[in-house]
Every structure is written in C-alpha cells, then in structure tokens.
Amino acid sequence: MTRRLASFSFAKRVPSTPSIGSTTVTKPDHIHLSFGFAAPHLFPIDQLSVSAAEAVTLHGRKALQYSGSGGPGKILKWIQNRSLVHGINAELNQILVTYGSTQGIDLATRILVDPGDHVWVESPSFFSALQAFRTAEAVITSFPIDEDGVRVDLIENALLEAKRNHKPIPKLVYTMPTYHNPGGVTLSVEKRKRLAELAETYNFYILEDDAYSELNFTGNKYPPLYTLIPERVIYLNTFSKIIGPGLRLGWLIADQHVIDKVRLLNLGGSIGVFTQEILAQLLENFAFQGHVDSLSRHYRKQRDVMAEAIKESFGEHVSFHLPEGGFYIWLRFDDHVNTSEFLQDAANRGVSFVDGKSFFVKPEGYQYARLCFSYVSEEQIVRGVKILADTYFAYLNNPVPS
C-alpha cells in the first residue's frame, strides 16, 4: 500500500499501555511463576470429554442456538445452589453468566461509572480491574492493604473528609476480600461489616471479586460482602479457578435492578451458550465439593513448598503474608529494591514473575513481586524460587544504575 492517510484520533478511553509488562522468554524449560493459572493436571478432562460429547448429542441443536436449551437455566440453578453454601441467597433472575469475572468487572463498571466518576481500589489491586477502570475513564484512588485486608479505616476517613469538603464520593469500591490477588490477604469479618455499613451510609457500590474463595486452605469461613448488604454489592465469581479458565465463564450476582441495567447494554445476547451447555452437563454428575477440596489440598501443598523455598533462598531479604487460600504469594523486598529492574534478567535465567508496579495505580510498589504457586510443579517452584533469589542477589550486588 502506498496510500497515505491522515492520522486518526482514537477514543480517549483506550489506555496508553497494556495492564502488565511483558518479558522475552527464551528457554523451553522456563518456569512461569507469573501465570495466575490453574494447574492443568487438575482439570476434570475425562469427565469434560464425556460431557462435551453428551451435551452436543443431547442438546446440540439448542446449545448452538442463541437461547440455548435448559443449559443456561441449569447453570443458573447450579450457581444458585452453590452460592447458598457461601451464604448467598439469590433468585435466578439475580444471576447473570459472564465471560469470566473480567467481563463482570467491565460490565459493572460500565453501568456504574461515567468518565470522571471516582472508583476506589485496594493497593495493590488486580491489574485487569485497574485497566477496566482506566478504560471507563474513572478517577482511581487506592487504599493500602494490611494483614487482614484493605484499610477500611482509611476508606472511612477519606469518605468523611470527602463529605465534609463536598468532594466526590466513589461510585464504586472494588475489592477482592478473600485470598487477595496479589496480596494473599483476607479481609477480616469486622472490616467486612464496616465496609458494608459505609456502602450504605455513603451510597456507593462494592464490586466484590470472589474469584478465589473456593480455594480455601484453612477451613476458615468469611461472609461474602454480598451477604452483608446485597443492595449495594455486585458479586463476581468464575469457573476459571475451579474448572478451567479456557471456558471463560463466570457469573455476576446483584439486585434485579442492576441486572436489568447490565442487560440494557445488550452486548450480544446469551453468553457462550454452547460452553454453558457442556459445563452444565459436567456439573450434573460431578462431585464438585470433592473436586474443590482436592484442589485446595493441592494448592495448599504448593503454597507450603513455595513458602519454604522462599525462606530457604531469600532468608531475611523478603517478607510475605502466608495466604489462607488462592494462588499467590506477594513478596515484599526492602524499600530500595525495584523488582522491575531484574524482571528481564530473571526471564533470561528461566523464571518469570509479575513485578510489583503492575498492581498499583500510582507509580509505586516497586519493592514487591507476585509469585504464583498454582500453575507450576513443586520441583519448578523450588527451582524457580532459587533462580529468582540468584537473580535478586546478583541485582543487589550490581544494581541497575538509576
């Protein structure tokens, strides 16, 4: 093409950079401590293969149609029943199937947030959520987490101050209260209650991202924020961590009123009916609780192996909170360390992680690194952490000139 065209101004909502940096990976035996993925060998492949064939044979014509057969209905019922286990009592018309919880975040944001509206998040927070808020052109403010989740006291102070000074109250507070990505912490019951009260008093929505809650290593139970103030919580969950992320199926639970708003966006009718039908067929004859228990046992073991390896390889050079569930250990280095500066060197040596700054709104968090223990083997965890420590100590002895 030799045609020369004038330049074109794309929409302002398009972020200027990806939500997460990338590194060049060259070794075939590369260890991905960066991947927040489920362990592939725990996917219920054999059952799913049978279910897939059955679903297509039994319900194929309708599964391939927009509306589906009983499939979507069956999935909704399954979600309704499973939610009850977590104390969530929802009508079927309060449940909306989404393309993973990331689409849930996008949809919730789009119905709640106009450009210039305020969204409050945890720091650190999930990078895809931050990108969704940027895309909505929200003003994002972040609040630190400690050992038992986000600092609700600071949120309360900020709300008081905003009210006193006639400054904007957030439309939305995004939180991952249980087994936080990347922080690994869990919001205490007291803080949950207080946050729910604040949502009522100050009239904002809480977007509760509960993607990891089934992966419980301790047996401790925490009430979903949804159960505390269902009128002001949009609750998100996903099949990604418990069945397989490739399904790209999650769900959103909220007031009928909120669900109606989401439907008005009308972004293409029913969600992945075909996949829903196959999943419904699987879940119909699937010992789900046993499956989840076995996932949790496995991931707890992986967590322990990683925690041990970190202590072994890093000694006093890092600190972290031992997560009660989920996929992640959130390493804190000394404040002068910048993990972005040895990200590529680690990749060159055969291990990847996500550098701290990817999880923050402002330029901060450089001294953190997220390691994921879910995707890799125990042997890879031990080897990967060792390589990472070697990389770090090399960096420490010969830091990048700043």
Using CB under 8 A, which residues numbered 322 to 381 contact its own copies?
A: none
Q: Is 12 in the site for its own copies (CB under 8 A)?
A: yes
Residues 226-245 that bind its own copies (CB under 8 A): 229-232, 240, 243-245
Distance CA 18, CA 131 (A): 8
* CA-based nearest residue to 171, from 206, 146, 147: 206
264 binds its own copies (CB under 8 A): yes
Q: For residue 114, how many other CB atoms are within 10 A of its CB?
A: 10
Binding residue for its own copies, selected from 26, 28, 29, 268, defined by CB under 8 A:
268
Cis preceding-peptide flag for 124 (omega within 30 of 0): yes
Residues 16-45 within binding reach of its own copies (CB under 8 A): 16-19, 37-38, 40-41, 43, 45
Quick one: which of 73, 115, 144, 168 contacts its own copies (CB under 8 A)? 115
Give the Cα separation of 239 and 325 in Å (integer).
Answer: 16
76-82-83 Cα angle (round to 5): 85
266 forms part of the interface with its own copies (CB under 8 A):
yes
Stretch that binds its own copies, among 65-73, 79-87, 287-295, 334-342 (CB under 8 A): 65-73
Side chain identity, residue 33: L
Least Cβ distance, residue 308 to its own copies (angstroms): 27
The structure tokens 């604040």 sit at 198
Helix (H, G, I), strand (E, B) or coil at 374: coil
For the chain, give the number of residues: 402
For its own copies, which stretch binds (CB under 8 A), given 176-184, 216-224, 266-274, 363-371? Answer: 266-274
Residue 18 or 73 with smaller CB distance to its own copies:
18
Binding mask 143-172 for its own copies (x = CB under 8 A): ----------------------------x-
Specify the residue, 37 or 393, whose C-beta has the smaller distance to its own copies.
Answer: 37
Residue 2 binding its own copies, by CB under 8 A: no
Q: What is 105-174 written as a DSSP string?
A: HHHHHHHH--TT-EEEEEES--HHHHHHHHHTT-EEEEEEEETTEE-HHHHHHHHHHHHHTTPPPPSEEE
* Binding characters for its own copies, 276-315, by CB under 8 A (x = yes): -xx-------------------------------------
Distance CA 163, CA 159 (A): 6
Selected binder of its own copies within 126, 217, 235, 274 (CB under 8 A): 274
With CB under 8 A as the contact rule, the residue among 22, 49, 81, 218 that binds its own copies is 49
User: Least distance in Å: CB of 142 to its own copies?
Assistant: 19
Phi-psi region of 322 (alpha: psi -120 to 50; beta: other; left: phi over 0): beta
